[in-house]
Copies of this chain bind each other. A is one copy, B any other.
Amino acid sequence: MKKSDVVRAVLGDRYHVAPLHHGGQAFAPTNIALCKYWGKRDQDINLPLTSSLSISLGNKGATVDLRIHHGAHDEIFLNEYEVDRVSPFSKRLIEFLNLFRHHHEPRFSVHIKSNVPIAAGLASSACGFASLIMALDALFGWKLDQRELSILARLGSGSATRSLWPGFVEWHSGIRGDGMDSHGVMIEETWPELCIGLLIVSEKAKGIPSREAMQRTVTTSALYSAWPAKVSRDLSLLKQAISVCDFPLLGKTAESNATTMHATMLSAWPPITYAIPETLLAMQQVWQLRSEGLSLYFTQDAGPNLKLLFLQKDIDTVKSHFPQAEIVQPFVGC
């Protein structure tokens, strides 16, 4: 199955029609997986081996402003700076845009504003591709529903599948070869007291791309075979925790899911670790504080940064121990 086949299946008659407007704009939040997406059953159209579950980060994310451009090439701006057309960042974006146009036409001027660090394991590609597909939908006037947008966002980046909604989102892995059942589903419950602390220990781009790390893990780790059952159990536990607002259950399940994902990478060959010394020290600080009674947990994605999980009542305590953390309340004021 190719990406273009998926696009054709979703758009139907609307495939390769002329744009309805000269521009489209959209915002999508970034999301943090509490149960990780780690391993693909289809490399080409990003079908996952397991379902996953995330929390969207309110107004932290990306805004895309897409306009028809009458130059020889697309132009891409990230936070006001033009990005080199031949950079991996631009290439990946242009490849995605090409799925929706004929012979590179129309050209686009793409302005992305992101308030999350790029490629530091903060799911910048998730909100990037989700906002891009929404902007394309606005520009072409397709009027796709969220499920369809989620399927198309997935073609840009797996985790973008979940960035079409605020709050808790489950990405159903699906079982179909064409992936038409592999998309996000919003979980209705909200949890106003829930806080996320973004603990950036390095803004440098990570070493090995997550796509490659994931693939190496699936093909070489002797422990990966036990991962799908772990995910299945963790998904039930998380949904249970969300439904009754059991924070220790949510925190423990999310942290254990993350450390287990990183464990599968450590057991790959060659071994992969995204931890840097600061990551290790921050993890140990969380464990120490928890042993002293603080209800604090973390999750970690394919990068060195941690995302702290805690409740509103502990904001001041967390701030005192991690003054550098940026605190997000996913269900407050957005």
What are 11 contact pairs spanning A and B, CB under 8 A?
A221-B260, A222-B227, A223-B227, A223-B263, A252-B269, A263-B266, A263-B267, A273-B283, A276-B280, A277-B280, A280-B280
Q: Name the prevailing secondary structure of the A interface residues.
A: helix
Asked whether, in the complex, the Cβ of A229 is within 8 Å of the Cβ of B233, the reply is no
CA distance A252 to B252 in the complex (A): 34
CA distance A265 to B222 in the complex (A): 14
Residues in chain A within 8 A of chain B (CB atoms): 221-227, 229-230, 233, 252, 255-256, 259-260, 262-267, 269-271, 273, 275-277, 280-281, 283, 287, 290
CA distance A269 to B281 in the complex (A): 18
Asked whether, in the complex, the Cβ of B233 is within 8 Å of the Cβ of A226, the reply is no
CA distance A224 to B264 in the complex (A): 11
CB distance from A91 to the nearest CB of B (A): 25
Nearest opposing residue in chain B for A270, CB measure: B287
Q: Which of B259, B260, B266 contacts A260 (CB 8 A)?
A: B266
CA distance A227 to B223 in the complex (A): 7
Copies of this chain, tallied across the complex: 2
Nearest opposing residue in chain B for A290, CB measure: B270
A225 cross-chain contacts in B, Cβ below 8 A = 226
CA distance A2 to B276 in the complex (A): 45
Asked whether, in the complex, the Cβ of B264 is within 8 Å of the Cβ of A275, the reply is no
A260 cross-chain contacts in B, Cβ below 8 A = 221-223, 266-267
Nearest opposing residue in chain B for A259, CB measure: B271
Q: Which of B226, B273, B281 contacts A277 (CB 8 A)?
A: B281
CB distance from A334 to the nearest CB of B (A): 32
Asked whether, in the complex, the Cβ of A233 is within 8 Å of the Cβ of B223, the reply is no
CB distance from A199 to the nearest CB of B (A): 16
A277 cross-chain contacts in B, Cβ below 8 A = 277, 280-281
Asked whether, in the complex, the Cβ of B273 is within 8 Å of the Cβ of A267, the reply is no
CB distance from A61 to the nearest CB of B (A): 29
CA distance A144 to B233 in the complex (A): 50
Asked whether, in the complex, the Cβ of A264 is within 8 Å of the Cβ of B222, the reply is no
A273-B280 in contact given A222-B233, A263-B263 (Cβ < 8 Å): yes
CB distance from A107 to the nearest CB of B (A): 40
Closest 10 CB pairs of A and B: A277-B277, A263-B263, A222-B230, A263-B267, A260-B267, A263-B266, A223-B223, A259-B271, A226-B226, A223-B226
CA distance A182 to B147 in the complex (A): 58
Nearest opposing residue in chain B for A278, CB measure: B277
CA distance A230 to B266 in the complex (A): 14
CB distance from A275 to the nearest CB of B (A): 6
